Structure 1
Amino acid sequence: MKDYQKILVVVDPTTENQVALARAVTLASKSNAHVTVFLSIFDFSYEMTSILSSQEREAMRQGVIDQRVAWIQDLLAPYNHLGLNIDTQVIWHNRPFESIINHAIAGQYDLIVKGTHAHDKLKAVIFTPTDWHLMRKAPVPVLMVKDHDWPETGKILCAVNVATEDTDHQMLNGKIIEHAKDLAGKFAAEVHLVNGFPGTPVNLAIELPDFDAQTYNDTIRLQHEQRVQYLADAYGIDKQNCHVKEGLPEDVIPELAEQLDAELVILGTVGRTGFSAALIGNTAEHVIDSINCDLLAIKPDGYKSPLEEA
């Protein structure tokens, strides 16, 4: 995996605390990356002002854009002393996720960074429709950021899928671990692998009186442990950092992330069809709503965004 050389960070005009910007700056400082601070804005009232000419409406839109550019410059002031290569891009667009993805594709960015919305009462993270569209449709990795630091010697948790020997799964597992290893090298972090395996199907135990549920369970567990260990050996990950647990991924991953006090969970995503059911769609929604740390969503090599195909 190559370093993140071009980072597209999406700022949030509704909050003062720009967690995504802070994370992007931290990452850029580790790899001397170029950062673009991106904002997509739209106000339908400007489009409906029929008494104005198209030129006047355009001037009004440009005035709003200029105000936001100045606002972003104020956000960047605390980072000016770092000497990083940072530019800004504010555009007028009525579908934020499309503007973000299109800009990432056109600019050949290596990473999209966006903050999440915290729900004060529940202390949970609320993912917006834009967040979901980005994770499902962006062809580049998407880092969803919470309000916390990445300390040195932290923990990165890789959710791997070893249920089959399918080549696509194996390549995506490898890509997830490569991203984790690269980030771990920059932050002196530990890489952990997690895998959930299904328990004994209830209907088998009911329909087959002689069915040995314990033996079945032990066999499935051993198979998953061996495959996870093979991955760990291939990437130089300590055996004690391999975690194979009975249960659904949406339960196992958040539980282990909390147990380890992980800074980052990395998941593989491929859209909403096919083997994507493993980590995107319902499962990913449960995982993301439950974890108390950042999430990095990785696409397999060769993935084409629906926006590229449109």
Structure 2
Amino acid sequence: MIKYQHILVVIDPTADTHPALHRAVSVAALQQQATITLFMPIYDFSYEMTSMLSSNERQEMREGVLQGRREWLKELVAPYHDGNIKFHLEVVWHSRPFEAIIQQVMDAGHDLVVKSSHKHSAIQTFIFTPTDWHLLRKCPCPVLLVKERQWPMGGNVLAAINCAVEDEEQVNLNNKIISESGEVARLLNAQLHVVNAYPFTPVNMALELPDFDPNAYNAAVKQLHEKALAEYGARFSLAPERLHLEEGLAEEVIPHCAELINASLVILGTAGRTGLSAALLGNTAEQVVDKLSCDILVMRASGEPSLVG
């Protein structure tokens, strides 16, 4: 059974509320002997530019800021102390937050990162920050992006996969997503649903090939995905009514299905690519996250973590 026992919570010192901390405590309460590390990377460029101070004086000023933040974290976590969860506090001086977070994960062996997803004050929608995207692409452990909706016991968990792909990495990622989603659903006494999007018929094929039958092509593609999805359902003992196949783009299908079943949590994966494929994948992930009103748990395909790329 999956265990999230070494949880890292990223704290934003500029935020008024901290739903990530509350969610992390809720997850830890479902475990045994869980620890939560409150992590805050901070950086003030003005301290580096103070030429009138010596390097030792600048270091003392930085340490003063770090200590002040540690005291603030102690106050923040105080209401959550109940004896069952162990808390640790880490405040570091680092100009690139995502690098500091990933380094902490690698050094301390955390098995889950929990971070709030920012809310846009003007149009009341959630936005995907650069730190969020770097974490999803490079963090070696699952990342839980928290919004403000609660996790009701007995609700629905939605796992999103790409099932009609024979690539070994994608197959392994699909198995990982469904398996771990099942464990999360059991912890929450929730129903696990699985969704897969299959593509529209390419317009250029219909235009360039005179004998091309788009209806027959679309039916063949749908059948391929239906068969693959049914095989995953059989492998993980999922009832047919909890398997969802929809035509369209993943960034449209996943939020639609989540709303349809009133999911409290969506779980999906990222292959951790770099370069152009990462940019394209990032655009899809960003749109999915922004369109979902519930929390998102993102897990990375197996592979060595990286701070570059």
Q: 1:128 to 1:248 in 2, by over 3 A?
A: same
Residue 209 (structure 2) pairs with residue 201 (structure 1): no
Aligned partner of 1:304 in structure 2 is: 304
Secondary structure at the aligned position of 2:149 is classed as coil
Aligned partner of 1:264 in structure 2 is: 265
User: In the alignment, is the contact (CA less than 8 A) between 1:196 and 1:249 conserved in 2?
Assistant: yes
- Cα shift at 1:120: 3.0
* Aligned pairs for 1:176-255 within 5 A: 176-255=177-256
Residue 48 (structure 2) pairs with residue 29 (structure 1): no
Secondary structure at the aligned position of 2:37 is classed as strand
* Aligned pairs for 1:27-66 within 5 A: 27-32=27-32, 33-66=34-67
Secondary structure at the aligned position of 2:251 is classed as helix
Unaligned runs of at least 5 residues, structure 2: none
- Cα shift at 1:238: 1.5
- In 2, the alpha carbon distance for the partners of 1:208 and 1:127 equals 40
Aligned partner of 2:101 in structure 1 is: 100
Aligned residues: 308
Deviations 1:192-242 (CA, angstroms, capped at 9, x unpaired): 111111122222223334332222211111110111111111111111011
User: In the alignment, is the contact (CA less than 8 A) between 1:65 and 1:92 conserved in 2?
Assistant: yes
Q: 1:279 to 1:262 in 2, by over 3 A?
A: farther
- Cα shift at 1:113: 0.7
Aligned partner of 1:8 in structure 2 is: 8
User: In the alignment, is the contact (CA less than 8 A) between 1:153 and 1:189 conserved in 2?
Assistant: yes
Question: Structure 1 stretch 257-266 or stretch 142-151: which is displaced more?
Answer: 257-266
Aligned partner of 2:120 in structure 1 is: 119
- Cα shift at 1:2: 3.0
Q: Percent identity?
A: 47
- In 1, the alpha carbon distance for the partners of 2:26 and 2:276 equals 34
Secondary structure at the aligned position of 2:119 is classed as strand
Secondary structure at the aligned position of 1:304 is classed as coil
User: In the alignment, is the contact (CA less than 8 A) between 1:112 and 1:140 conserved in 2?
Assistant: yes
- In 2, the alpha carbon distance for the partners of 1:120 and 1:35 equals 29
- Cα shift at 1:41: 0.6
- In 1, the alpha carbon distance for the partners of 2:83 and 2:27 equals 12
> Runs in 1 of length 4+ with deviation above 2 angstroms?
120-123, 203-212, 271-280
- In 1, the alpha carbon distance for the partners of 2:116 and 2:27 equals 14
- Cα shift at 1:126: 0.9
Secondary structure at the aligned position of 1:280 is classed as helix
Question: Structure 1 stretch 269-278 or stretch 138-147: which is displaced more?
Answer: 269-278
Q: TM-score, normalised by structure 2?
A: 0.94
* Aligned pairs for 1:127-206 within 5 A: 127-206=128-207
- Cα shift at 1:30: 0.5
Q: 1:277 to 1:217 in 2, by over 3 A?
A: farther
Question: Structure 1 stretch 41-50 or stretch 161-170: which is displaced more?
Answer: 161-170
Cα root mean square deviation, aligned: 1.9
- Cα shift at 1:274: 8.7
- In 2, the alpha carbon distance for the partners of 1:178 and 1:34 equals 23
Question: Structure 1 stretch 114-123 or stretch 22-31: which is displaced more?
Answer: 114-123
**Aligned letter for 2:65?**
V
- In 2, the alpha carbon distance for the partners of 1:293 and 1:49 equals 44
